[in-house]
Amino acid sequence: MKFGVLVFPGSNCDRDMQDALEKDLGYPVEMLWHKHSNLSHFTTDDCIVLPGGFSYGDYLRCGAIAKFSPMMKSVIDFANKGGKVLGVCNGFQILCESGLLPGALLQNANQQFICKNVFIKTDKSEALQIPIAHGEGRYYADEATLKHLENNNQILFRYCDQKGKVGGVANPNGSTMDIAGICNDKRNVFGMMPHPERATSNALSNIDGKKVFEILGLKN
């Protein structure tokens, strides 16, 4: 498996992602400029990553302009053919704007930018400590969509406390149903607000991010 990491004007976590994937996880990585469009050298065994940041300055809405870039048109086609796509933070916002994932990311409930460590978990995993850094991370979808996500096991991660209790004060942004990450019906497109790439190094005393990549099936 190899990874491609998109770079938009305003991306600021692209090199973090590259460093984590190459140095901590041992994958080959290619940086992909937003004005290019060729993904023919990637197969459905590979993964394209949309990193965090402020693509195109977050004008209009977070991710609203990025979805029209030449590379995103290729990413949408890649995903529709079964290729793996991961969006983190701003990348998650772009995936929702482009229609690859349902719902939207709204302004945090406290109307403030939040940057801190939080805990997330799957229905079966232990609590994982993963950093967040966002101002519009509150996941929202209509009731029918939320019901479909839950019934189809598409809710990948929920916010929890250190002991694994979901919700309450452990939800940092007011996200509906404490959702921190979801996937599509085919389970090849993943979006999450927390940053696993910031938790893959022993130097940071936290490698829980490696477990996130394993849970998503993004490992050799």
Q: Which residues contact 158 (CB under 8 A, 6 or more apart)?
A: 120, 121, 166, 167, 177, 178, 179, 180
- At 130-154, the pLDDT tens digits run 999 999 999 999 999 999 999 999 9
- What local confidence, expressed as pLDDT, does residue 59 receive? 87
Q: Is the residue at 135 inside a domain? A: yes
User: Are the beta carbons of 179 and 139 closer than 8 angstroms?
Assistant: yes
Q: Is the residue at 220 inside a domain? A: no
Is pLDDT at 66 greater than 90 in this prediction? yes
Q: How many domains does the chain have?
A: 1
What average pLDDT score do residues 159-170 get? 97
Is pLDDT at 69 greater than 70 in this prediction? yes
CATH number at residue 165: 3.40.50.880
Q: Is the residue at 19 inside a domain? A: yes
User: Are the beta carbons of 75 and 65 closer than 8 angstroms?
Assistant: no
What's the pLDDT band for 124 if we cut at 50, 70, 90?
confident
Residue 175 in tokens: 């996200």
- At 22-39, the pLDDT tens digits run 999 999 999 999 999 999
What average pLDDT score do residues 170-186 get? 98
Average pLDDT over all residues of the chain? 96
* Active site annotation includes 96: no
Q: Which domain holds residue 33?
A: 3-215
Euclidean distance between CA atoms 128 and 220, whole angstroms = 21
Q: Is the residue at 148 inside a domain? A: yes
- What local confidence, expressed as pLDDT, does residue 220 receive? 63
* Active site annotation includes 197: yes
Q: Exactly one of 47, 62, 89, 160 is catalytic; which is it?
A: 89
Q: Is the residue at 119 inside a domain? A: yes
What average pLDDT score do residues 119-125 get? 94
Q: For residue 21, count CB atoms less than 10 angstroms from its CB and return exposed for 0-12, middle for 13-18, buried for 19 or more.
A: buried
* Active site annotation includes 115: no
User: Are the beta carbons of 155 and 149 closer than 8 angstroms?
Assistant: yes
- What local confidence, expressed as pLDDT, does residue 125 receive? 87
Q: Is the residue at 133 inside a domain? A: yes
